[in-house]
Amino acid sequence: MTSALIAIRDAAAAVDSDGLYSPAKEKAANNRGVYSGRSPLLHRRLRQLLDGPRVKLLLFLCLLCLLVLFASRLDSLIGWNPHYPSFVSSPCSTREACVSTIEGENACLRQLPWPRCLCLLLVLLFYNVLIYEARTLQNRHRSGVGHGGTGGYTVLINTWKRNSLLKQSVAHYASCGGTDAIHVVWSESDPPSHSLKAYLNNIVLSKSQTSQKTNFKFDINKEDNLNKRFKPIEDLRTNAIFSVDDDVIVPCRTLDFAFAVWQTAPFTMVGFVPRMHWLDQEVLFWGGNSRTRSAEDEAEADFLRSTDTSTKKNGITYFKYEGWWSVWWMGTYSMVLSKAAFFHRKYLDLYTHKMPSSIYDYITRERSCEDIAMSLLIANATDAPPIWVKGKIYEIGSSGISSLIGHSKRRNKCLNDFISLYGTMPLVPTNVKAVDARHEWFW
């Protein structure tokens, strides 16, 4: 088993030396584009520029200040001077004296500098924030984030008999500036209809934000096998693969930020759905036995937990697969699920050809847990944890398989079976979270 692990890591090192992105090739490819996307790109950049919470708040305050300033000078603008009506007793002895007094008070109020000073201060602050956001957006454009950059990314959509969701997903990801290509993993018994192909091709052409139009293709499989989700793809122009389910929508700005994070660590897994493995204390210390535990037994278990978390029961260490609430409560994770995650394209080849065949056959037989297998594969090849990106994602479909009864037990079984087949625990826990501080007040 150790030799299998070494073989996977050697294969990963071999793939690193091939297929790396060439900026010159990408520039030459972009220059060959025949479509002009200047107007959509300009509109998108302006929307990105004004979409930050700080810019929105300052713009609101500036508008409010202008309204206050306008209201303070309303009387002089319309030539109206307030005075007391005849049926109300006036504190002035004569009407002329009353009007003179009121005009003097208004003149004093108009001489107060605070409305103008406040408006000027807010306008200057808004201008500075706007310039900062514009420079940041320009730097992102020059570095390629959101516009292909170092090859952009290929969106790999996994679908199954949900054409309406597929149409929404393809339309959305085609509108993201960093999308270089969209591949749909199709494993249904019947091939996609001509009308569906035509519709999606038209959507991609109309939604593409770059001068070089996004490639679109169906990857048709002859059998329904979850392993085919990660089969190698020919003629890829990007190193980055964004794997996503057909019912998951990640906003383009959030997706571009995650791509920028992935560029800093291109051989790790970067995603939005974190999970964690914990030592299963119940199985570890009691072997699943429900016997009555004495106080001495509990004291011994507490001591072992506090001193050695790798202690085994009957020579086997058991782990529990924990979901989102565990990550939120403990602040620790060791996996990001492939339902919304970036990884390098070399892992498609490693998954298909270098991963232990026993794991590949297990997924084929059980029809589950291919995402756990990919997390283990990447962790084993890198000896590094994944990166969780904070960002809103939207699930547009109905409740998934995670809501089914027995799902947690199946995941626990998969995790422990895979670890036993590897002969070690490749996953590396971490507390790191990537946050786009430009769009967060608290981070």
Q: What is the DSSP letter of 224?
A: -
Is the distance from CB of 181 to CB of 201 less than 8 angstroms?
no
Whose structure tokens read 């009864």?
Answer: 405
Instruction: Look at residues 438, 36, 443 and name the one whose alpha carbon lies nearest to residue 253.
Output: 438
The upper half-sphere exposure of residue 33, i.e. CA atoms within 13 Å in the direction of its Cβ, equals 18
CB 122 within 8 A of CB 62: yes
Give the ranges where 290-344 is alpha helix by DSSP (H): 295-307, 324-330
Report how far residue 73's alpha carbon sits from residue 67's, in angstroms, rounded to the nearest whole number.
Answer: 10
Of the candidates 202, 211, 162, which has an alpha carbon nearest to the alpha carbon of residue 184?
162
CA atoms 157, 163, 168, 172: torsion sign: positive
Contacts of 437 by beta carbon, 8 Å cutoff, 6+ apart = 443
Number of Cβ within 10 Å of residue 86's Cβ equals: 8
Q: Treating both helix axes as pointing N-terminal to C-terminal, what angle do 407-422 and 357-366 enclose, rounded to 10 degrees?
A: 160
Whether the Cβ atoms of residue 427 and residue 322 lie closer than 8 Å to each other: no
> Angle at CA 372, nearest 5°, toward 332 and 173?
90
The letter for the amino acid at 244 is V
Residues for the chain: how many in total?
Answer: 443
* Buried b / exposed e along 167-195 (16+ C-beta atoms within 10 A): ebbbebbbbbbbbbbbbbbbbeeeebeee
Q: Would you say 287 and 281 are in contact if contact means Cβ atoms under 8 Å apart? A: no
Give the largest CA-CA distance in the chain: 106
> Which are the catalytic amino acids?
371
